[in-house]
Amino acid sequence: MGSILLPHLHTGWHVDQAILSEEDRLVVIRFGRDSDPECMRMDEILYGVAEKVRNFAVIYLCDIDEVPAFNQIYELYDPMAVMFFYRNKHMLCDFGTGNNNKLNWVLDDKQEMIDILEVIYRGARKGKGLVVSPKDYSTKHKY
């Protein structure tokens, strides 16, 4: 249900405009396929936190089949990836997984997502390009 209610970016131009147009809020974009079960679960989490974080973050969805322009640039090879931007700058977050560019697994807890967004936003406001996640996810997945 979350994927229906959150705003979609249907072209590369829309993605660029979403990133460029926000001056004071964090831009959160979920790249993936709307029909993918992982994306559906993450969309529910994102929809659940969207109202709570609206003062400092805006959340968009982008289907990687509909807008393939960013697949190679952002290395979108996973079924689902959440990326963060602030004032036209890609924000990196160290989750302890080795991939600081994006969040590519589904969070189970809305509060965890809120905490991550807050940490990234605070770091971005201070001019940092890389922030450390409030929780270490290095042992969550076995690679």
Spatial distance between the Cα atoms of 129 and 95, rounded to a whole number of angstroms: 14
Return the pLDDT at 140. 62
Q: What percent of the chain has pLDDT over 90?
A: 70
More confident residue, 115 or 4: 115
Sign of CA dihedral 34, 113, 100, 127: positive
pLDDT bin (cut points 50, 70, 90) of residue 3 is low
The rounded distance, in Å, linking the Cα atoms of 62 and 11 is 9
Q: What is the mean pLDDT of residues 29-33?
A: 94
User: Could you give the CA distance from residue 83 to residue 80 in angstroms, rounded to a whole number?
Assistant: 10
pLDDT, tens digit, 9 for 90 and up, residues 49-87:
999 999 999 999 999 999 988 888 888 888 999 999 999
Between CA 49 and CA 89 the distance in angstroms is 22
The predicted structure's pLDDT at residue 143: 46
Whether residue 39 is predicted with pLDDT greater than 60 in this model: the reply is yes
Span 1-22, mean pLDDT?
87
Tokens of 134: 């409030």
pLDDT of 29 above 60: yes
User: Domains in the chain, ordered, with CATH?
Assistant: 12-132 (3.40.30.10)
Give the sheet arrangement for strand 89-94, strand by strand: 57-63, 26-32, 80-86, 89-94, 130-132
pTM: 0.91
